[in-house]
Chain A
Amino acid sequence: MSPGRGGWRELLSRYGIVLALGALVLVLALLSPSFLTPSNWLNVLRQIAVNALLAFGMTVVILGAGIDLSVGSILAFTGAVAAGLSVAGWPPALAILVALVLGALIGLFNGVFVAYARIAPFIVTLAGLTIFRGATLVYTNGMPITGLPDTFNVIGNAVWLGIPLPVWITLAFLALTHFLLRYTALGRAIYAVGGNEEAARLSGISVTRIKLFQYAYSGLACALGALVLNGRLNSAQPTAGVGFELDAIAAVVVGGTSLFGGRGTVMGTFLGALIIGVLNNGMNLLNVSAFYQQIVKGGVILGALLIDRLFATRRD
């Protein structure tokens, strides 16, 4: 990279999100003494774990110029299946494995309609959103599944080296996704397909395979999120994950990934999830009413995109 490239505009456009997070932390630290304590930080990280996991999968989909609205429903369904099988006496490890595979398969199902039938991802996954919510309600009879084996409690609440297991899972999945996008041929192909599908196809990249993979990966992320959520709640709720797609998309977008595909990073998404989490946490500490919290959150999303617009180096 050549030196002297940049200037403050480019700097801001690249690190604006870090600065925004810093500013937010500063303000909250001044307003609330308990905000900067280590235990509160671990709390924030634990709270964002599920959204971050979904958002990492979502990043892979959006980078490839897609979208996945069905994440909340896939989460609910895989969570219910994992819980149901364990309660029915399956070994927990096997039930977990089944849930993970099932998540990937459901994602693949979305992917087939996007890649082969060439239906708009928005429509396919919108249908998926209701189909798998319905499947969850059928499977659970609309009742929570409780009495989960201890394994789930461990996933949700165990602490290792002072850090909760859900946070470890989040960081591990972050590292995996980062590695995938940055260092593998598959990651390169995802950026290419998202940036210019036609050029990617003419370069010999199998666009359909890439799309299948993206949605399967998102499905896998949902199953991971489901396991963490089951553990935290020590149950599987039929209404788990309602509206989660919006938070996941918000984290991706606040994190600087272009909704048109081809541009963005999963590290940005992590910061995006962190900003949303810090904001929620801070407002709770400050006793802001839940009604106002929604308004503030929406405002922050708009603000983040506005900053991106204002400071992005001009493209022709």
Chain B
Amino acid sequence: MALLEMRGIKKHFGGVEALKGVDFVLEAGEIQALVGENGAGKSTLMKVLSGVFQPDGGQMLLAGNPLRPRSVAEAQQAGIVMVYQELNLVSDLSVAENLFLGRLPPLMGYTRLNQEAQALLGQMGLEFPPEASVRQLSTGEQQLVAVARAFVQRAKVMVFDEPTATLSANEVEQLFRLIRRLRSEGVGVAYISHRLEEIFLLADRVTVLRDGERVSMAPLSELTPERVVNLMVGREVRAYQRQPHGSEGELGRFQVEAAGLAPLGLTLNKGEIVGLAGVIGSGRSEVLRAMFGLVGSASWRGTRLSGPLTALRQGIFYIPADRKTQGLVLELSARENVTLSVLSRLQWLGVMKAAQEQQLVKGWFRRLSVRPSDPERPARTFSGGNQQKLVLAKGLATTPQVLLMEEPSRGVDVVTRYELYALLDELARGGLSLLVSSSDTEELSGLCDRVLVFRGGRVVVQLEAPLDREEVVAHVTGARRVA
């Protein structure tokens, strides 16, 4: 008997059928990857499992017993724990308190609590102090605490929805170790990711969803990355290969100063794609934030960038890493989000030019193939990858000269990522200069004309195309020092 059986699960949102009768079977002691294009229904399926959504049809069995959680709390009671990207920790409590949250005996001394937490963390090879408050930890470390808590909660099923997006390479390794440990203790793990690499490192079996249906479930040994991509989209897809093109001369120079950052001067050429590599905290995202006038002080072509407004007037646009908290106004429609930065251009005496606005949005929807294609839906109802496209559309609608992007393909499916790269390349050919900060070294080496590697707040080396991924990795991790 399987640990978890989901049969014929259906879920629709208004007119959108997100799940059209999906089966998902998970064995104890198995890691099963769940893959599919943006909007395929992965998150929805797992939210049904973890009590966030009520299904419209289908059945679930956990260890043979009917399961129908009406809330997240009920699902947890039954042993189903989902780790979201938005974390469910209490940030003012300590690591130890979070670990044992909801399971604290009425009178347990802090000394004992911390000792037990220390023991648990030690077992798992995690090295942060149990008395630290969660707020002080990096996002990655917080994620690890959330996973560690699953051990305390004695989870039977653990769900991860794109957990590695905000982790450093080192943290990813720790996370994988923990996940494998969960497996060896008989937990069933469902793992959603757009990074095929991770799936081939981690999974035992792979379920592929397409348009709300399961199209395949197969052991990893029978699959190749190409095969998985084909199953996801239902056709042949070729990996993106960029032909770097010569750049057309100097566009301008950034001068950047910010706390924790060595002063940086960067001359940008017209139509080039410059990558910023480095671990989280290396300073690469501070640089972009300074260039948009958000922190420190920066200037572009001698003009001081005192805030987003001045930066925008200089033709600079910034796409933040976290679309939900920084990129989108989730309650507004997709249309209203896309035009948020060009309101002044779409008005006449303060009144919005509705027809022109609609046309502009329709154009970007087509160009980026946003799905679903109805721009009147609230941004919150779009899947993760499509939300990312909305943010990108908002930036491109300003027709910038310089586009600053953080983690451009975070949460974007493989195929869309290739489309995105092709689009960025096309924009660069059209004269747009891009600064791309990313933790994905494959992305950087495949996309950029040159890459600046950051460590400890300064650029330690600049690598020029043709770029070798291994070399980028070596510099990022500090395995290779520059002579």
Contacts and interface: CB of A to CB of B under 8 A. Distances in A.
Nearest to A179: B351
Contact of B350 (A184, A198, A199, A201): A184
B328 interface: yes
A287 interface: no
A10 B14 contact: yes
A299 interface: no
Interface stretch (A84-92, A126-134, A203-211): A203-211
A192 B340 contact: yes
A4 interface: yes
A184 B331 contact: no
Q: Which of B292, B331, B351 has the most CB of A within 10 A?
A: B331
Contacts of A191: 329, 331-332, 336
Contacts of B47: 316
B318 interface: yes
A127 to B, nearest CB: 29
B312 interface: yes
Nearest to B309: A204
A2 to B, nearest CB: 5
A211 to B, nearest CB: 15
A185 B330 contact: no
B329 A200 contact: yes
B352 interface: yes
A196 B330 contact: yes
- By size class, the interface of chain A is 20 to 34
A30 interface: no
Contact of B340 (A2, A183, A186, A200): A200
Contact of B374 (A2, A196, A198): A2
B331 A186 contact: no
Contacts of A3: 15
Contact of B318 (A188, A202, A316): A202
Nearest to B311: A204
Interface in B337-361: 339-341, 343-344, 346-347, 350-352, 354
B21 interface: no
B326 A205 contact: no
B52 interface: yes
Given A205-B340, A316-B380, A184 B347 contact: yes
B394 A2 contact: no
A200 B331 CA distance: 12
Given A7-B14, A201-B308, A202-B318, A185 B344 contact: yes
Interface string B312-335: 100000101000011111111000
Contact of B53 (A184, A185, A199, A314): A314
B320 A202 contact: yes
A315 B327 contact: no
B346 A195 contact: no
A74 interface: no
B14 A5 contact: yes
B376 interface: yes
Contacts of B347: 184-185
Given A196-B328, A201-B308, A183 B351 contact: yes
Given A185-B352, A204-B312, A195 B341 contact: no
A295 interface: no
A198 B328 CA distance: 9
A263 interface: yes
Contacts of B329: 191-192, 195-196, 199-200, 262
Interface in A283-316: 314-316
A189 interface: yes
Contacts of A201: 308
Contacts of A243: none
B332 A185 contact: no
Contacts of A202: 292, 294, 308, 318, 320, 326-327
A1 interface: yes
A22 interface: no
A293 B146 CA distance: 50
A186 B308 CA distance: 18
B52 to A, nearest CB: 6
A6 interface: yes
A1 B294 CA distance: 37
B15 A5 contact: yes
A263 B333 CA distance: 11
A7 B15 CA distance: 9
B52 A1 contact: no
Contacts of B394: 203
Interface string A1-36: 111111100100000000000000000000000000
A203 B318 CA distance: 9
A184 B350 CA distance: 5
A177 B266 CA distance: 48
B350 A186 contact: yes
Contacts of B318: 202
Contacts of A206: 309
Contacts of A7: 14
Contacts of A10: 14
Interface in B164-216: none
Interface in B116-135: none
Interface string B24-58: 00000000000000000000000100001100000
Q: Which of A5, A200, A201, A204 has the most CB of B within 10 A?
A: A204
A192 B318 CA distance: 17
A187 to B, nearest CB: 8
Contacts of B346: 185
Interface in B266-304: 292, 294
A263 B15 contact: no
A2 B15 contact: yes
Contacts of A195: 329-332
A184 B351 CA distance: 4
Contacts of A6: 14
Nearest to B372: A2
B65 to A, nearest CB: 26
17 contacts: A2-B374, A5-B14, A184-B352, A185-B346, A185-B347, A189-B343, A192-B329, A195-B331, A196-B325, A196-B328, A196-B329, A198-B326, A199-B326, A199-B328, A200-B340, A202-B308, A204-B398
Pick the 9 closest A-B CB pairs, nearest first: A5-B14, A195-B329, A4-B15, A185-B343, A203-B340, A204-B312, A185-B347, A196-B329, A203-B341
Given A2-B14, A196-B329, 14 more contacts: A2-B15, A4-B14, A4-B15, A5-B14, A184-B351, A185-B347, A185-B352, A191-B332, A196-B325, A196-B330, A202-B318, A203-B340, A205-B343, A314-B53
